[in-house]
Amino acid sequence: MEQTEGQHAVAVTGSTSASSQAISIDGVLPGGKRFAHPVLVVVERDEDEVVVTEPRFYIHASGATESEAIEAFRRIFAGYLPFLEKQEERLSAHLLDQLDYLRSAIVSA
């Protein structure tokens, strides 16, 4: 697995296979934001695409390569916060938990 700044491989006993690996990502997000702390994601590969999933709330993105999937994940992860904030008064308990999680994971750069 190629690693760039803001990506760190994480050993997860019993949670990896030849086609998946857990890593933590941090650093800059779109829109003048950044991760407040490293976020654990699972990178899964198949013949056609790479999928990056945050396992707590199953926020995910895909791309043709790992780099593309991680960049797509950064966009989706950062974009989900304002989406939920706009609907905060109507959110279910589960989505309010997601909103709290995103608020704790995303800060202004």
Note the pLDDT tens digit of each residue in 35-82.
999 999 999 998 899 999 999 999 999 999 999 999 999 999 999 999
CB 42 within 8 A of CB 21: yes
Kindly tell me if the per-residue pLDDT of 14 is higher than 80: no
Mean pLDDT of 78-94: 97
Q: Output the pLDDT for position 30.
A: 95
C-alpha–C-alpha distance, residues 81 and 22, integer Å: 23
Q: What is the DSSP letter of 31?
A: T
Identify the CA nearest to 54 among candidates 91, 92, 101, 93.
Answer: 101
The mean pLDDT value of the chain amounts to 87
pTM: predicted TM-score of the whole model, two decimal places: 0.82
Band the pLDDT of 23: cuts 50, 70, 90.
very high
